[in-house]
């Protein structure tokens, strides 16, 4: 499963451009970005305009630095969890979770949890081609991070498509976000 950006940051920031999903990847290299106030402001603008926001790993830390996750449940990378989550006390951090879906926000912990969250994202947003044709209107942006209905969405069709996609990739989707064997990892110093 690949994620390919369809517009640049500069294009996305233009008011005349619309998009349905903001994806914020993570990784240890992004941690210095939580101090880049201009980037955080730009991400915040995009979050406000996006009907869906999906983060992987420490991408949720970057999102939380914008203040847009305050009052919401979220998760992040388990290796850094105890170190970084206290710096963002407005977020209702969930340690035992491969991913958390709260309103328009879907946050995942590590990279493989991001794969499982990606399948959860498909299950929550996929619209069959025939239903897209019958419902060409776009998804609205929710107030204060609320989820909004997706025109033409069918839970049954989305789950069927998600399961077929996972099977086609020979991947076993861990569809229970609370099934998180990595929450009890030993400290990263090996002790």
CA distance 99 to 111: 11
145-149 contacts at long range (C-beta below 8 A, 24 or more positions apart)? 145/68, 145/72, 145/102, 145/103, 145/104, 145/105, 146/103, 146/104, 147/103, 147/104, 148/51, 148/104
Beta pairing, strands 92-93 & 73-74: parallel
Nearest one of 19, 35, 29 to 57, comparing CA atoms: 29
Per-residue HEC secondary structure of 139-165 comes to: CCCCHHHCCCCCCCCCHHHHHHHHHHH
State the catalytic residues: 57
Closest among 102, 98, 9, 116 to 64, alpha carbons compared: 102
């Amino acid at each position: 499963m690949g994620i390919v950006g369809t517009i640049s940051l500069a294009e996305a920031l233009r008011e005349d451009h619309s998009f349905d999903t903001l994806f914020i990847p993570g990784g240890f290299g992004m941690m210095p970005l939580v101090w880049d106030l201009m980037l955080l402001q730009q991400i915040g603008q995009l979050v406000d305009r996006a009907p869906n926001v999906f983060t992987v790993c420490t991408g949720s830390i970057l999102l939380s630095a914008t203040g847009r996750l305050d009052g919401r449940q979220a998760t992040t990378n388990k290796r850094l969890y105890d170190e970084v989550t206290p710096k963002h006390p407005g977020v209702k951090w969930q340690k035992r979770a491969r991913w958390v879906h709260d309103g328009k926000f879907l946050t995942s912990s590590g990279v493989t949890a991001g794969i499982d969250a990606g399948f959860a994202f498909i299950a929550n947003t996929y619209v069959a081609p025939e239903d897209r044709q019958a419902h060409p209107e776009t998804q609205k942006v929710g107030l204060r991070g609320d989820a909004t209905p997706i025109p033409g969405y069918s839970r049954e069709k989305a789950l069927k498509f998600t399961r077929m996609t996972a099977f086609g990739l020979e991947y076993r989707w861990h569809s229970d976000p609370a099934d998180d064997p990595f929450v009890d990892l030993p400290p990263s110093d090996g002790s």
